[in-house]
Structure 1
């Protein structure tokens, strides 16, 4: 392995590559043939890192195909853009972006991500399909409220019932796959032991934050987007706020937090204490969401289930 950085700008159709050591550039199709051509272009000397931006559906095939063959480092597009601006680059093209990504990786000595777990990808795809079905069902349920014709209502109800059956089948398949892996099955049992975290919330944590159990408290909260960001400058003191993070995971913690403040004595005390201090309910509930993900991470790391503290 050489201490070299490769930047890959990923679009729908192409991969724009830049090698930092010699300034070499190349373009490849964003397809299996392009992935093979990229590997051949890199040659036998594996670089220290291959840096690319998270671009949703466009980067997934690339990441899935090359995760175990190259030291991939996925970065936040906003951070990469801020780095380019700090370097004085105002131009934004695929070639420039690839060069900036290579420089970004070198400047911060980015470490490669953990190789992709193929089963994790399969579970994530099932979970994504489940989310789409939920949106469809919610839309139909809302539409049913305004429909008056008997035929239209019957068809809408039939479609809702069909979606409900499909959702049940998807959830069962997700549960089976979670149990197939001993480590995931154990983590799932630990998460389900926490008051408020049910079947769906536990699955969401395992799918959206596979790092659970390997992080420190601050990192777990930061990845979820629940770590408050301090805002101050000189004598000015602004309100701390949360931002960024993994939205789907954060959304999945909302209902568990509502349950936790009623059925988890420790969470209830903290919530009530914050309310008495004059904190808005939304702020107090966000703090409980953060405590939940920190607790989940701690218990999985310690390999123990939740037990009520009677002290």
Structure 2
């Protein structure tokens, strides 16, 4: 299998057909036509394409490669960056980056990318738009508040701001209802199981389904916790370095925030989460550290109910020794 490195940008992508220093590279337009032109230059039996996850810029390329049956890997840019450091790379151009990615594929043998379903892609789009609209809504409300303290608030400006706020509120409400409806129609069983966990509501349940592809991307809860950036870090070396750091924070910061809020709410209604929190606090752990531990417990509970296909029973104690 020959690894092909692809460096993706908004308008174009550079392809390195070999990691060798003087190997040829080609540049294609990042459009449907350009991608099909690139696909005609490779074979699904001989080539393995590797690229960094660059958000929406790489989405069409990954989608069309997967549809064409081309083996594809989509890697965390941090992994490639650290690999470049290990290789003592000092020059950065699109061509060099593409060759470096090809070398990364050859040396690291990255995992295959599993194409997201249309439902997951649609849910993610709605979630992204909702998040951006909420930011605009907060900014507009803050603008209104800052104008109201002035000696004189122009009536026309006030009316314009209030209309914008009302419009944004309606758009957010409609999209949230649409997202909830789509999640329940496409993943009804999983939504019912997840929302049975005390502390997990419809919004968080839908976000977990999006992050896990319907709980198909991960084999266990520990992998999911690491992916979401909630795993504690630890450093030990010799006698001088030995300390526990913060959580790894590698995943979706918005979903982490949702889990943190859900963990706080679960203390009022989830027996196991409350017991976990009280135990850690009694052992002298700071409040935020205990809340993060509760968020991890929520993830384990969510993973358990979905994989075992059983509704959550608050306070249930397993009979297994």
2:57: which partner in 1?
58
Query: Contact 1:196–1:255 at 8 Å: present in 2 too?
Result: no
1:247: which partner in 2?
253
- Name the count of aligned residue pairs: 306
Deviation (angstroms), 1:160: 1.8
2:238: which partner in 1?
234
Distance 1:163 1:21, change over 3 A: closer
Distance 1:123 1:46, change over 3 A: farther
Give the whole-Å Cα distance in 1 for the aligned partners of 2:61 and 2:44: 19
Secondary structure in 2 matching 1:110: coil
Deviation (angstroms), 1:231: 1.1
Query: Residues 236-275 of structure 1 correspond to what in structure 2 (within 5 A)?
Result: 236-243=241-248, 244-275=250-281
Give the whole-Å Cα distance in 2 for the aligned partners of 1:156 and 1:195: 39
Deviation (angstroms), 1:59: 1.3
1:100: which partner in 2?
100
Query: Contact 1:67–1:116 at 8 Å: present in 2 too?
Result: no
2:223: which partner in 1?
219
Query: Contact 1:212–1:220 at 8 Å: present in 2 too?
Result: no
- Across the aligned residues of Structure 1 and Structure 2, the Cα RMSD in angstroms comes to 1.9
Query: Contact 1:17–1:27 at 8 Å: present in 2 too?
Result: yes
Per the normalisation by structure 1, the TM-score is: 0.92
Deviation (angstroms), 1:310: 4.7
Unpaired runs of at least 5, structure 1: none
Secondary structure in 2 matching 1:41: coil
Deviation (angstroms), 1:35: 0.5
2:204: which partner in 1?
201
Give the whole-Å Cα distance in 1 for the aligned partners of 2:154 and 2:296: 47
Deviation (angstroms), 1:272: 1.1
Secondary structure in 2 matching 1:262: coil
Shifted more, 184-193 versus 204-213: the winner is 204-213
1:123: which partner in 2?
123
Give the whole-Å Cα distance in 2 for the aligned partners of 1:53 and 1:12: 13
Deviation (angstroms), 1:211: 5.6
Per the normalisation by structure 2, the TM-score is: 0.89
Asked if 1:162 corresponds to 2:160, the answer is: no
Unpaired runs of at least 5, structure 2: none
For residues 140-198 of structure 1, what are the alpha-carbon distances to aligned partners after superposition, in whole Å with 9 as ceiling and x for unaligned?
222222223262334323322221211121112212222332xx221111111111111
1:4: which partner in 2?
2
